[in-house]
Amino acid sequence: MIGRRIRTMTGRMRGWIAPFWTTLWRPSMHFSLGFLTLGGFIAGIVFWGGFNTAMEATNTEAFCTSCHEMKANVFAELKTTIHYNNRSGVRAICSDCHVPHNWTDKIARKMQASKEVWGKIFGSIDTREKFLDNRLELAKHEWARLKANDSLECRNCHQYDSMDLTRQAPRAAQIHQLYLGTGEKTCIDCHKGIAHQLPDMRGIPQG
């Protein structure tokens, strides 16, 4: 029964698609090869550029803070930290830490973010209370991600090889040498809550 229905459906589909298919594979009658090649090339540049521009637009601080979930919670907290405001005037915006810079990883993360769009539509953290209830879980996702990629987003700016340990506080220099230099630990192991308030940390290792 179901088999027959699928067969009739595919038959109908084939009847509908067939003319397009034959047109697609028949040599062009009106356009020259040069026009099609150049036109395809230019259209490729426009669409590829447009795609990446649109994706970059979703990486801006203005886009991230356009929803109140981010603006009222995590962005408000970021403002008090050194990654927002500091002596040299360099700011790390949301995407600098939360979106991989490498293109393939960025696409993968952007696809994951479709779940966040779902959350936004159905209001999974649309109040402060809901956000606080879920904060530990949300934080754990980020810790796991940074742990798995060896704190790549930290290291995009902060590289151990470029650290002048003599200009760090003695305790920082010592600990960085002991644990970061040997590769025993990664940035996120000790630097949790560097840009946001921490959830209830009972039972979670922080160093």
HEC per residue, 69-118: HHHHHHHHHHCCCCCCCCCCCCCCCHHHHHCCCCHHHHHHHHHHCHHHHH
Q: Identify the residue whose tokens are 């700016």.
A: 157
Contacts 24+ apart (CB under 8 A), 179-184: none
199 in contact with other proteins (CB under 8 A): yes
Out of 3, 19, 170, 183, point to the residue binding other proteins (CB under 8 A): 170
Question: Which of 25-33, 43-51, 77-85, 103-111 is the region at the interface with other proteins (rule: CB under 8 A)?
Answer: 77-85
> Among 47-55, 76-84, 96-104, 153-161, which window interacts with other proteins (CB under 8 A)?
76-84
When asked if residue 207 is in the footprint of other proteins (CB under 8 A), the reply is yes
**Does position 183 bind other proteins by CB under 8 A?**
no
Distance CA(53)–CA(57), nearest Å, equals 6
Among 149, 150, 148, 157, smallest CA distance to 195 is for 157
Candidates 102-110, 121-129, 143-151, 166-174: pick the segment binding other proteins (CB under 8 A). 166-174
Q: Does 190 interact with other proteins (rule: CB under 8 A)?
A: yes
Residues 81-100 that bind other proteins (CB under 8 A): 81-82
In angstroms, rounded to a whole number, what is the distance separating the alpha carbons of residues 139 and 125?
Answer: 13
Are the CB atoms for 191 and 207 separated by under 8 Å? no
Examine residue 197 and tell whether it contacts other proteins (CB under 8 A).
Answer: yes
Binding flag, residue 171, other proteins (CB under 8 A): yes
Determine, following the binding rule CB under 8 A, whether residue 174 of this chain makes contact with other proteins.
yes
80 binds other proteins (CB under 8 A): yes
Q: Which residues bind other proteins (CB under 8 A)?
A: 80-82, 169-171, 174-175, 190, 193-194, 197-201, 206-207
